[in-house]
Every structure is written in C-alpha cells, then in structure tokens.
Structure 1
Amino acid sequence: MSIQGRFLASADGTKIWAEATGDLAKPALVMIHGLACTAFAFDRQFLDTDLTKNLYLVRYEMRGHGRSDMPDDVADYSSLRQAQDFDAVCKGFGLTKPFVLGWSLGGCIPVDIAAHLGTDYIAGVIYCGGPLLSLRLSGKATPPAWAPTMQRVLSTDPNIAARSAVVFVDSCVANPSVDLPWPIKLQWMGGYASQPPHIRNCCRTRGQDDSQFLAEAVKRWPALLIQGSEDSHCLSDVVIQQARDIFANVETHLIRGVGHAPHFERPTQTNSLILKFIRGICASQPAGSASVSNGKEQATSKL
C-alpha cells in the first residue's frame, strides 16, 4: 500500500506536513501525535495491513512539531489555529467526517474541532494513551510524580532541555529497555530535539475553551479510550472516569503492563480495538453516510 506525503497550507499560511495510506473509499481515521513527538509514532498503524485494507489512514504533524512549520508566537498555537490545521488536512486529502485518534496532547484537538469546526465535522473520537480530553481537564489526571519531569521538558535552559530528551522518550513506554529499540528511540529523540523548548511551551500552555466540547460534542460523538495501566504521564483511573462521566457513548479499555503509548507497545491489540470500534459505528449509520465512506465532497466547516 503506497504512502502519500505532502505539505498543506493552513489558513494562516503555516505549512503542515501530512501523509495518507489505505483505501480512500473506506472510513477515514486522522491520527494526531503527542507533545514533542512526530507522526512516526503511528508507524505500527500505517504498516498494519488490516487497518490499511479497511480504513483510509491520515497522520499529520501538528504545527511546532516535526516537519511542519514552527511559528514563534504563542498566538500562532491558538485553538483556532489548531482547528484550521485539522481542516486543512481534511480538505487536502478529501476527507468527509473522519474519525479522529489523539495520543496524549493530540487528544485535546477534538476540543478545538468542536469549538471552531462544529460537532458535525467528525464521526467519532479515539483516545489512545494518556489523552488530554481537554487542556483544562488534563490537570486533574496528571500524577504529581510527573511534575518534575514536565518541568524539565518545558525548561528553556538548553542543557536541561537536551538532557530531558532521553527521560521523556523513555517515559512514553512501560519498559523502554525492551520496547524501545535503539533506532526507534533515536528517531523519537530526534523528533523531540527538533522542537525548540520555547515552541514546546507554546503548544502546552496555549488557551482552549472546552465549553462547546462539553455541552454538545460529548453527547454526539461516540468515543473509544485505550489506556495503559502503567502510564507515568497520566492517572489511568482518573482519565477513564473522566471519559465515562462526560461522554454519552464511550467504550474504555485498560491494558495491563502498558505505558503511555498503547498503539506502539501493543499495536496488534490496539489496532484491533480501533477497527472494531469504527466498524461498529459505521454499521449503525445509514448506508452511504459520510461516516461510512469518503466521497468527493469536502467536509463543511464554520471557518
């Protein structure tokens, strides 16, 4: 299955790198990585034949990450800009009402979608690994023991920032000596190091209004949450309860022995859950509806 990568211009001219693979006639799934990471985090989904035969997979690198542009002003990382980037990706690949998968920080992008694109823009949400259901809600699910590491990650001291790369990457899995082969660890560290500390702060400390998300989106979007029991970034029981409390239709799975990255640590199990969830939602929709297949019509946004 071929993989098509390209740069797409967002509304403010910022270039967003994205790529796609799979069957365009099948339901689309847009995957969004976490803080200081890149789209390479989803290699074990992009190379999964079951997913590529049954879905149209799209992954992009958020502004300030990887190959995408890295504007310097915190205003350039606003909720509106995040939604516009998502809109540019969907229009660039001709997606109609895709599903969204968010890992860690990527989990809060649906909040921006709800606020600026509307709740009809996507078909459902998949949260995978310590998701920030919103920037505001994430504070309640953060372990106190994670605070010192996060302080180093967000430090603008170049020496502290550089030395935090290994600690941060290792923290993404439960057993780094086993689950992170050196080539992959080096790749992830490269993604971390390519992001200036100032940009990391812009991405993490930007503003976000989750009122539309909580008032309407959680009642309409079906949700799947896949969480590792050994996630050092997130209190698993808290984020699972948050999802159960706010979503009208949510399915949750706690995978034992897994850390912050279920899609990487247990790809076979995670991919199976993803595909089963999307198939179930699509089966409940009328034939030919936007969430079942991707047509030529572009998704309509409020922008």
Structure 2
Amino acid sequence: MAYLEVEDSRRIYYEHHAGPGRPVVLVHGWGVTGRCWDTVLPALLANGNEVVVIDQRCCGRSDKDFADVSIDALGSDVVRVVEALGLRKPVLNGWSLGGAVVVDAAAKLGANLGGLVLTGGATPRYTSCEDWPYGGSPADLEATLAAIGGNRAEVLKGVAGAVCHTDVGQATVDWMWLMFLEAGPRADESLRDLGRVDQRETIATLDVPVLLLAGRHDTFVPFDAIKTSAGMFPKARLVAFEETGHAPFLEEGEKYRSELLAFLNGLDG
C-alpha cells in the first residue's frame, strides 16, 4: 500500500499490484472504498494484469479534509497516480460516480489511455435536465444530501441496502455500509458536484474501446441512461445484466468478471 500527496499535504491511498499484463486502474463509487473491488481484483491478478486500486479523496484510507473534492479533482488524482507509477496505456474502470471520474481522467490522459470500462457509470449526467430525461432532479439530489447530513448512519445503511437488486446476503450489505461509514462528510460534496457535471461533449472525444456494464434494475443510474450514452462514444459496447441493480460485480460476479477479462484480453497493444 502507498500514499500520494495530491493537494497541499493531503494524500490519497492506493495499492499497486504488480503484473506483466495491461494495467487496470479501479475507481470506486461515491462514499465507499477500493475494497469494493475485492471480488474483481483476484481475477485481474490471475489474468496477469497490473492493477491499481485507489481510495478517492475523503474515502477509506485517504485523508478526509480535502478542500477540493470535485469530479475534476478526483479525475486529476487518477492521472497523477498513473503518471507516478509510469503506467502505459492503462484501462480505467469506474463504478457509479467513479464512472464520471474515469471519464474525466480519460480525457486528461489523452493518447496514454488503453480503454475505458464503465460499471454502472454515472456519466455523462447524473441528474436530469431539459434534454437529458434520465436520473433524479437536482432538488432530489439536494434532499438526499440533506438526509445524509441529518442522520448519516441510518441513511447510508438504507443506501447500502438499495445498491443491489438481487439478494447478495446481509453480510455483503453490511460490508458496503461499513465502507460508506468510512467516508468523511466532505465526500458529500463530490456527490453534489456530480449533479452539476455534464460530460456529453467529453465522451464523444474518447476514441478508445469502451465497455459499459449495466444492470437492468439499477435505481441509481438508470439503465436507459447508460444505453443512451453507449451511442455517444465512438467505440462502445454495452453489456446488460438482466438480474442486476447497481453492482453487477457483486450480483452477477461470474458474468461480470468474464466480460471484463474478455474486453481486456481483446485490446490491441
């Protein structure tokens, strides 16, 4: 494990797992930690991939008192880690809010990007607007943030219970809840910023292979939003998970790992 200073004296936590194959950077969703990938990491390592797992600002083992927790800042952190480790053409895999983060990072990496995986990715928009009918309203998001601020433990317990559509077991739900509780209150501002982000112009410029992995029963990022976004990328393929909510890697893990590895092993260079 290691830390990288990214803002004044504030640091983010990351793990760098060696491997001879294509580098993969795993970026978690809002409020949880890099531990959410614990059922994915072993498959990547067995496949020979070099893997980096990041805890975003104010989450998990990273510092909790960052001033800037915007999507732009989180995406820049991914780029900083890639550059610090000298990764060549990595594939970025972002879950939920992490999807917007890796899109931001992908645009900044430019030619040094091997591909993109969006796991229930909250891109190009998380909230609805006049020409984007998907997701809740900005007012809905503010109400959620107010509820979290008023009773953090109970509201986040409810969020953890709503992530999966299938029955993944109480232990898994509790595990996710505990990850949420590790996030500092400043992480809430990342979710607020996500509600302001519009990446429609950005994703149209990402001329790399893109894999979208999405659950039909996702109540956080609507499947129809992800299906629409698939047509905005120059080179994207959508894989639907018929029995899944917001976490296909937990709900249909075998299929998720199979699709992910096939994508990685099919990339050129």
Aligned position for 2:250: 264
Contact 1:104-1:132 within 8 A present in 2 as well? yes
Q: 1:42 to 1:59 in 2, by over 3 A?
A: same
Any idea what SS the aligned residue of 1:81 has? helix
Structural RMSD (CA): 2.6
Aligned partner of 2:51 in structure 1 is 57
Q: Which has the higher helix share?
A: 1
- What is the Cα deviation at residue 279 of structure 1? 1.4
What secondary structure, in the 3-state scheme, does the structure 2 residue paired with 1:154 have?
helix
Task: Work out the CA distance in 2 between the residues paired with 1:145 and 1:259.
Answer: 20
CA contact (8 A) 2:219 2:245 kept: yes
- Work out whether 1:123 is the aligned partner of 2:123: no
CA drift of 1:278 comes to 1.4
Q: 1:166 aligns with which of 153, 157, 176?
A: 157
Residues 71 and 121 of structure 1, relative CA distance in 2, 3 Å threshold = farther
Q: In the alignment, what sits opposite 2:184?
A: 196
Q: Which amino acid aligns with 2:98?
A: G
Report which of the two structures shows the higher radius of gyration computed on alpha carbons. 1
Alpha-carbon distance, 1:51 to partner: 4.5
- Which of these residues, 189, 205, 230, is aligned with residue 216 of structure 1? 205
Query: Among the aligned pairs, what percent are the same residue?
Result: 23
Amino acid aligned to 1:170:
G
5+ residue gaps, structure 1: 286-303
Q: Establish whether residue 70 from structure 1 lines up as the match of residue 57 from structure 2.
A: no
Asked if the contact 2:135–2:222 (Cα under 8 Å) also holds between the matched residues in 1, the reply is yes
Q: What amino acid sits opposite 2:237 in the alignment?
A: E
2:4 aligns with 8
* 2:35 counterpart of 1:40: yes
Which letter does structure 2 place at the counterpart of 1:125? L
Query: Which secondary structure does the structure 1 equivalent of 2:39 belong to?
Result: helix
Say whether 1:252 aligns with 2:243. no
The one-character-per-residue Cα deviations of 1:239-270 (angstroms, maximum 9, x if unpaired) are 112222x1111111111111100011122111
Give me the whole-angstrom Cα distance separating, in 1, the residues matched to 2:113 and 2:9.
23
Give the SS at the match of 2:217. Answer: coil
Amino acid at match of 1:166: K
Indicate how the Cα distance of structure 1 residues 257 and 210 shifts in structure 2: closer, same or farther if over 3 A, else same.
Answer: closer
SS of equivalent residue, structure 2 residue 256: helix
Question: CA 1:111–1:29 in structure 2 vs 1: closer, same or farther (change >3 Å)?
Answer: same
Q: TM-score normalised to the size of structure 1?
A: 0.77
Aligned counterparts of 2:178 and 2:106: Cα–Cα separation in 1: 32
Which secondary structure state, in structure 2, belongs to the residue aligned with residue 237 of structure 1? Answer: helix
Q: Distance in 2 between matches of 1:100 and 1:141?
A: 27
Q: Which residue of 1 aligns with 2:264?
A: 278
Summarize deviations over 1:56-91 as a string: whole Å, max 9, x none.
121101112111112353xx1234422331123223
Given that 1:6 and 1:17 are in contact with CA atoms closer than 8 Å, whether structure 2 keeps it comes out as: yes
- Say whether the 8 Å CA contact 1:62–1:68 is kept in structure 2: yes
Q: Which has the higher contact order (CA 8 A, sep 6+)?
A: 1
Question: 1:237 and 2:229 equivalent?
Answer: no
Q: Equivalent residue of 2:79, what SS? A: helix
Q: Kindly provide the amino acid, as one letter, of the partner of residue 216 in structure 1.
A: T
Cα contact 1:146–1:233 (8 A) shared by 2: no
Q: TM-score, normalising length from structure 2?
A: 0.86
Deviations 1:128-169 (A, max 9, x none): 12x1123x4653474459986x55641266543221112100
Compared with structure 1, are the counterparts of its residues 158 and 216 closer, same or farther at alpha carbon in structure 2 (3 Å cutoff)? closer
Q: For each residue in 1:178-218, what CA deviation from the matched residue of structure 2 results, as whole angstroms up to 9, or x when unmatched? A: 30342x33332122122234x2331012265637624522x
Partner amino acid, structure 1, of 2:105: I
SS of 1:169's equivalent? helix
2:210 is aligned with what amino acid? A
Q: List per-residue Cα deviations over 1:100-122 (Å, max 9, x = no partner).
A: 0010000011332245x242132
The answer as to whether partners of 1:152 and 1:160 remain within 8 angstroms in 2 is no
Cα distance change, pair 12–79 in 1 and its aligned pair in 2 (3 A) = farther
The residue identity in structure 1 corresponding to 2:6 is: S
